[in-house]
Amino acid sequence: MSWRNSKQIVVDANLTYASGNLKFNPLIDPAIASIPDRNRQSLQALFEERHFAVFGRKLYEEWSRHAKEGTHARDWLNRMMKKGRIMLEDGESFANLAGSACACLSADGEKEALAKDFHLIQSALATGQLILSNETHFPRYVSLACPTDQELSTLYYANPAVEGDDCRLWIKAGAEKDADRRIDVWAENHSKSD
């Protein structure tokens, strides 16, 4: 892929932990046991296709902390930094959306969860509108707020833990803003309700 086609993707810190910290256990459900591979393959595809990883300060701190626990994530982050493909963007101009987005949710736990990860939204809105994460409830919480905050419906989402190889293939094909990747559509198609 050429540099002109590179995308700016917010890469959640949960990919660091899940890319190599599950110990082999032959009794583990194969779907769960394959999550580290799915995460490693998605991170590798992001590197190979010359995409940029976007981090706000909070996310970068989470990444750095989790990367110490697994060599794969640490090596990936170091390679991305050496290639100059790390973007630091907090998206502070979008911080004002957090209050109204959280107000759309009925349960306090949902509000807290969305507020905790709202930094991902801010960084994504300020850059390429793309989020790569293993969170399953987060997209649903965002989709519930989309009718109130239209800017949130400009976000696109991918999840290696849920999608498996489809996520890697999407990254390899250019991480395009396909209609089925729009965060509210993704949530409708993939998220489980509580």
- Which token pair is 139? 């997209």
User: What was the pLDDT predicted at 38?
Assistant: 85
Report whether 20 contacts 72 (CB < 8 A): yes
Q: How far is the C-alpha of 175 from the C-alpha of 71, rounded, in Å?
A: 26
Strands 130-132 and 86-88, sheet pairing: unpaired
User: What was the pLDDT predicted at 124?
Assistant: 98
User: What was the pLDDT predicted at 23?
Assistant: 46
pLDDT tens, residue by residue, 112-160 = 999 999 999 999 999 999 999 999 999 999 999 988 888 999 999 999 9
Cα-flanking dihedrals φ and ψ of residue 82, to 5°? -60, -35
Going 105 to 111 to 114 to 118, the CA torsion angle's sign is: positive
DSSP three-state, residue 130: strand
Alpha-carbon distance values, 176 to 4, 36, 65, 148 (Å) = 13, 24, 30, 25
User: What was the pLDDT predicted at 147?
Assistant: 85
Alpha-carbon distance values, 110 to 100, 116, 193 (Å) = 13, 10, 12
| Predicted model pTM | 0.89
Report whether 59 contacts 13 (CB < 8 A): yes
Q: How confident is the model at residue 39 (pLDDT cuts 50, 70, 90)?
A: confident
